[in-house]
Amino acid sequence: MTTTIIKNGTIVTHDLTYRADVRVDGGKITEIGANLSGGTELDATGCYVMPGGIDPHTHLEMPFMGTYSADDFESGTRAALAGGTTMVIDFALPSPGQGLLDALQMWSNKSTRAHCDYSYHMAITWWSQQVFDEMKEVTDRGITSFKHFLAYKGALMVNDDELFASFRRLRDLGGLAMVHAENGDVVAELSAKLLADGNSGPEGHAYSRPPQVEGEATNRAIMIADMAGVPLYVVHTSCEDSHEAIRRARQQGKRVYGEPLIQHLTLDESEYFNADWDHAARRVMSPPFRNKMHQDSLWAGLSAGSLSVVATDHCAFTTDQKRFGAGDFTKIPNGTGGLEDRMPMLWTYGVMTGRITMNEFVAVTSTNVAKIFGMYPRKGAISVGSDADIVVWDPAKSKTISAKHQQSAIDYNVFEGKAVTGLPRYTLTRGRVAVNDGAIIGAEGHGEFVPRAANGPVNTALSAWKDLTAPRPIQRSGIPASGV
């Protein structure tokens, strides 16, 4: 069994900052204390020793809009490790009519190449007795979060009756409901009108998905989750309209989580007005980038705690793939990359500017993810017994982001030219050193599936409250005779 000692660093967790060494044996953290010795030493002088990042929102090798996203589990998890992320949660996406277990098998075949640990969310893209039945088996296998698309009409979108049925099923299974919140009917109408009026360029994509369509769908999903009595996680929260709905719900005691992306926090809508078609099309994603007011709202949500997690929605397409939409923005594959850049970008634009603390950085990139998705403290923690998914973070190390040096398979980077300070000196995945001072030492297939628990404390509390406050018939001494 290999023993590694991380020496002379400062441990930063979601709630503590302190000096200590960390011993790693057999992929687990086995001791935390002063002056540890007796193994291969990694020098963390001047560095922060933090739980490795967990990206809860990726689409690796995903069939979408007539093609496949270009990063698979090999290049995607290699990119993750390079940026200090040690686990991803990808989406198993049944095509309409396909069984959930069948889709799960397809994703399990793809993920055998992963360099770091992974899990899946299941997507509910259609509704039937088979889907209802298979949700139980999926949950029993440790896949306890289920995503629903309120957008992509005619493809992945589900209607409100299907959403309600699925949310009720999830309440009974102790799962977590997730939504992509955009009103797909309105987006479809706006897109058709824009195209008819000659708006065919990538900027048409942004015009077709204004913040209002996201705000409406977020409010609707929150209401339906509340009626069903299930916790709700809103993916890629991009604007104040959606954040406001989440903030209000949380203040009312509802169990709702919001997930901004690093792209929405740091890139704005002006990208779509670039005169270069490729530049604009490469940044087409749903929801689109917003203006500075919305960005400020997202940053405020992270420091106030009304938004819980920062993800990437990594769904990378090459320039050639983006060109499928030349002449019709609705055919540009939706999605951008970010796996390698999430942690350095958030550190640079969040911690270094004082928008969030180091501990909040750990919370939103790792610990909150582990807690919300039922795998804490195995993941998301620097504590004895936890998996040794660790990033030794050098706050003095800097680089300029460039596609030339990235791990991702695509030919550009939406953060191209951004100077970042704060990078991994070492990244450990279950004790294995995968990044050593900038050198990536990948091990294809090292990654393992991480099953997650259902019926967490939030489910239990919410169900108890819903049972206590459920409508009940009033007991009366008698019923009056009918008036007819």
Ligand X SMILES: NC(=O)NCCC(=O)O
Residue 2: partners with Cβ closer than 8 Å, 6 or more residues away: 25, 26, 39, 40, 431
Give the residue, chosen from 82, 315, 401, 410, that forms a contact with ligand X under the rule CB under 6 A.
315
Q: Which of residues 278-337 bind Zn ion (CB under 5 A)?
A: 313
Total chain residues near ligand X (CB under 6 A): 9
Provide the minimum distance between the beta carbon of 405 and ligand X in the complex, in angstroms, as a whole number.
25
Instruction: Decide if 424 contacts 79 (C-beta within 8 A).
Output: no
Provide the minimum distance between the beta carbon of 190 and ligand X in the complex, in angstroms, as a whole number.
16
Provide the minimum distance between the beta carbon of 315 and ligand X in the complex, in angstroms, as a whole number.
4
Report the C-alpha gap between 270 and 106 in whole angstroms: 38
Provide the minimum distance between the beta carbon of 447 and ligand X in the complex, in angstroms, as a whole number.
21
Provide the minimum distance between the beta carbon of 448 and ligand X in the complex, in angstroms, as a whole number.
25
Provide the minimum distance between the beta carbon of 440 and ligand X in the complex, in angstroms, as a whole number.
25
Provide the minimum distance between the beta carbon of 461 and ligand X in the complex, in angstroms, as a whole number.
29
Our CB check for ligand X shows the closer of 124 and 390 to be 124
Is 147 a binder of Zn ion (CB under 5 A)? no
Give the residue, chosen from 78, 169, 180, 294, that forms a contact with ligand X under the rule CB under 6 A.
180
Our CB check for ligand X shows the closer of 9 and 338 to be 338
Report the C-alpha gap between 380 and 86 in whole angstroms: 10
Select the binding partner of residue 288 from Zn ion, ligand X, none (C-beta < 5 to 8 A, by kind).
Answer: none
Our CB check for ligand X shows the closer of 256 and 316 to be 316
Select the binding partner of residue 335 from ligand X, Zn ion, none (C-beta < 5 to 8 A, by kind).
Answer: ligand X
| Measured torsion, CA atoms of residues 25, 26, 27, 30, in degrees rounded to the nearest 10 | -30
Is 334 a binder of ligand X (CB under 6 A)? yes
Residue 404 φ then ψ, to 5°: -60, -35
Q: Which of residues 214-243 bind ligand X (CB under 6 A)?
A: 236
Select the binding partner of residue 184 from ligand X, Zn ion, none (C-beta < 5 to 8 A, by kind).
Answer: none
Our CB check for Zn ion shows the closer of 93 and 114 to be 93
Our CB check for ligand X shows the closer of 314 and 418 to be 314
Our CB check for ligand X shows the closer of 147 and 425 to be 147
* 3-class SS letters over the chain: CCEEEEECCEEECCCCEEECEEEEECCEEEEEECCCCCCEEEECCCCEEEECEEEEEECCCCEECCEECCCCHHHHHHHHHHCCEEEEEEEECCCCCCCHHHHHHHHHHHHHHCCCEEEEEEEECCCCHHHHHHHHHHHHCCCCEEEEECCCCCCCECCHHHHHHHHHHHHHHCCEEEEECCCHHHHHHHHHHHHHCCCCCCHHHHHCCCHHHHHHHHHHHHHHHHHHCCCEEECCCCCHHHHHHHHHHHHCCCCEEECCEHHHHHCCHHHHHCCCHHHHHHCCCCCCCCCHHHHHHHHHHHHHCCCCCCECCECCCCHHHHHHHCCCHHHCCCCECCCCCHHHHHHHHHHCCCCCCHHHHHHHHHHHHHHHCCCCCCCCCCCCCCECCEEEEEEEEEEECCHHHCCCCCCCCCCCCCEEEEEEEEEEECCEEEEECCEECCCCCCCCECCCCCCCHHHHHHHHHHHHCCCCCCCCCCCCCCCC
Is 180 a binder of Zn ion (CB under 5 A)? yes
Total chain residues near Zn ion (CB under 5 A): 2
Select the binding partner of residue 176 from Zn ion, ligand X, none (C-beta < 5 to 8 A, by kind).
Answer: none
Question: Looking at 76-84, 173-181, 293-301, 474-482, which segment touches Zn ion (CB under 5 A)?
Answer: 173-181
Our CB check for ligand X shows the closer of 178 and 382 to be 178
Provide the minimum distance between the beta carbon of 411 and ligand X in the complex, in angstroms, as a whole number.
18
Provide the minimum distance between the beta carbon of 400 and ligand X in the complex, in angstroms, as a whole number.
26
Provide the minimum distance between the beta carbon of 107 and Zn ion in the complex, in angstroms, as a whole number.
14
Is 301 a binder of ligand X (CB under 6 A)? no
Report the C-alpha gap between 380 and 366 in whole angstroms: 5
Is 335 a binder of ligand X (CB under 6 A)? yes
Our CB check for ligand X shows the closer of 259 and 389 to be 259
Our CB check for ligand X shows the closer of 11 and 261 to be 261
Report the C-alpha gap between 282 and 276 in whole angstroms: 10
Our CB check for Zn ion shows the closer of 47 and 178 to be 178
Give the residue, chosen from 7, 14, 23, 59, that forms a contact with ligand X under the rule CB under 6 A.
59
Is 285 a binder of ligand X (CB under 6 A)? yes
Comparing every residue's Cβ against Zn ion, the nearest one is 180
Gyration radius from the chain CA atoms: 23
Provide the minimum distance between the beta carbon of 235 and Zn ion in the complex, in angstroms, as a whole number.
5
Select the binding partner of residue 79 from ligand X, Zn ion, none (C-beta < 5 to 8 A, by kind).
Answer: none
Q: Catalog residues that contact ligand X under the rule CB under 6 A.
A: 59, 180, 236, 285-286, 313, 315, 334-335
Q: Catalog residues that contact Zn ion under the rule CB under 5 A.
A: 180, 313
